[in-house]
């Protein structure tokens, strides 16, 4: 009880005195988005090494772990099921991220060669690592430079789950590295803010830094409010277990349903973009194979069949309710070529897009 209270107060103090003031400073927010290929802010130096990509088939699995998923023990990397938000509270730290075979294949770069990145992060730097991106597992020091006795850092890690956030800090003093036990803060809205933040950082559109800053401020204010309102739940330091399954579900909604809802919402909101199981799974915080199993169990169809279904249903609504050209509708629902759209539409409806539009117009004209 005393330990939990002490951690609670320390985290609340960090949020009030450091995280909120740092995020509110105009033009001073430094955010590192940890999705290769990396584009660092001005205060972050990066070293890149060409290495063989990590093999998913050779990865280990964490037993009974609600947060972490794959691990490569020899290489010192693991992946999380959920996005990770963090901040360098003191000193400097070197964060490592690496690419997997599927990430390299999806990028189509480097002739199949993988990358290992060392991110040299100074104090007051925030970082955001998407689910499924391998990063250092904390076994080694967060220091990839000469003279490890000079290492000095304090890092806050926040793993954002469907029902809330798991928070813990780690500290390095020379060759001594220690981590505090974790606290789980219940608030399902944190995952929504984190997803909005992730999408802004990923897309990098006009004014994305200002929008990302606003989401980050909202995130830490909600975290502060929930911490101030009540005592959070203590978990073990390895983030393996939660008493009575706390943290894995939001209210009475099973985790698989939350993942399904996230996937479906992402699909419906991005029909005009290229969609694939790895992309959708990353936004649902699960692996592509697990997401397919969820869709099959809950909806009776695969992820990509659901994508096609949404595209065709949206196209039918646009054909019936607007005067948009078929080619425009084809683009709006994610088909680059009108021939592909027409073929798929006909397979699903037994009518061409033009014939469907005429049929619906005739039905509406009937007295």
At 155-164, the pLDDT tens digits run 999 998 877 8
Q: Which residues make beta-bridge pairs with 233? A: 184
pLDDT for 139 equals: 78
Residue 112: cis peptide before it, omega within 30 degrees of 0: no
Indicate whether 13 pLDDT > 80. yes
- DSSP β-ladder status, 152-161 and 233-235: unpaired
Question: What is the distance between the alpha carbons of residues 104 and 106, in angstroms, rounded to a whole number?
Answer: 5
By the 8 A CB rule, do 314 and 348 touch? no
**What is the total residue count of the chain?**
367
3-state class of 193 per DSSP?
helix
∠ CA 357-360-364, rounded to 5°: 135
Share of the chain above pLDDT 90, in %: 47
Angle between helix 353-365 and helix 338-349 axes, rounded to 10 deg: 60
pLDDT for 283 equals: 80
Query: Which are the contacts of 138, defined by CB distance < 8 A and separation ≥ 6?
Result: 170, 177, 179
Q: Could you report the per-residue pLDDT of 259-314, keeping only the tens digit for each?
A: 888 889 889 888 999 999 988 987 887 778 889 999 999 999 999 999 999 999 99
Specify the DSSP class assigned to residue 145.
Answer: S
Topology (CATH level 3) of domain 316-365: Arc Repressor Mutant, subunit A (1.10.10)
By the 8 A CB rule, do 136 and 76 touch? yes
pTM: 0.74
Which region among 20-29, 237-246, 291-300 has the lowest average model confidence (pLDDT)? 237-246
pLDDT for 63 equals: 63
- 111's torsion region: left (phi>0), alpha (psi -120 to 50) or beta? left
At residue 244 the predicted structure's pLDDT band, cuts being 50, 70 and 90, is very low
Q: For the chain, what are the domain ranges?
A: 2-242, 316-365
Please report how many Cα atoms fall inside a 13 Å half-sphere around the Cα of residue 176, on the Cβ side: 1
pLDDT for 177 equals: 86
Mean pLDDT value across residues 203-227: 92
Indicate whether 128 pLDDT > 90. yes
Question: What is the distance between the alpha carbons of residues 282 and 305, in angstroms, rounded to a whole number?
Answer: 18
CA 138 to each of CA 40, 143, 147, 174: distance values in angstroms, whole numbers, following the listed order: 22, 11, 19, 15
Question: What is the distance between the alpha carbons of residues 186 and 184, in angstroms, rounded to a whole number?
Answer: 6
Question: What is the distance between the alpha carbons of residues 83 and 272, in angstroms, rounded to a whole number?
Answer: 25
């Amino acid at each position: 009880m005393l330990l939990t209270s002490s951690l609670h107060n320390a985290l609340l103090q960090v949020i009030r005195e450091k995280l909120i003031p740092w995020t509110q400073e105009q033009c001073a927010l430094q955010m590192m988005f940890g999705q290769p290929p990396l584009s660092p802010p001005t205060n972050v130096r990066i070293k890149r090494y060409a290495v063989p990509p990590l093999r998913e088939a050779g990865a280990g699995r964490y037993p009974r772990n609600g947060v972490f998923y794959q691990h490569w023990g020899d290489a010192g990397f693991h992946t999380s099921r959920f996005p990770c938000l963090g901040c360098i509270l003191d000193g400097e730290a070197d964060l490592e991220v690496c690419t997997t075979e599927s990430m390299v294949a999806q990028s189509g770069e480097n002739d199949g060669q993988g990358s290992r990145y060392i991110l040299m992060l100074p104090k007051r730097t925030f970082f955001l690592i998407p689910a499924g991106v391998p990063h250092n597992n904390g076994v080694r020091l967060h220091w990839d430079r000469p003279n490890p006795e000079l290492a000095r850092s304090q890092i806050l890690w926040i793993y954002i789950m469907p029902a809330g956030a798991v928070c813990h800090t780690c500290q390095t003093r020379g060759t001594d590295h220690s981590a505090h036990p974790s606290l789980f803060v219940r608030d399902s809205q944190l995952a929504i803010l984190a997803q909005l933040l992730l999408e802004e950082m990923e897309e990098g559109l006009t004014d994305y830094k200002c929008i990302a800053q606003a989401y980050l401020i909202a995130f830490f204010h909600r975290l502060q409010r929930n911490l101030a309102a009540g005592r959070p739940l203590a978990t073990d330091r390895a983030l393996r277990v939660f008493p009575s399954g706390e943290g894995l579900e939001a209210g009475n909604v099973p985790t698989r349903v939350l993942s399904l809802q996230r996937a479906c919402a992402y699909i419906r909101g991005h029909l005009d973009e290229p969609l694939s199981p790895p992309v959708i799974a990353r936004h649902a915080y699960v692996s592509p194979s697990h997401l397919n199993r969820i869709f099959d169990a809950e909806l009776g169809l695969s992820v990509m069949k659901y994508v096609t279904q949404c595209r065709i249903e949206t196209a039918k609504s646009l054909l019936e309710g607007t005067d948009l050209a078929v080619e425009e509708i084809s683009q709006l629902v994610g088909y680059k070529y009108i021939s592909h759209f027409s073929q798929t539409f006909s397979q699903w409806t037994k009518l061409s897009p033009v014939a469907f539009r005429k049929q619906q117009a005739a039905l509406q004209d009937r007295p």
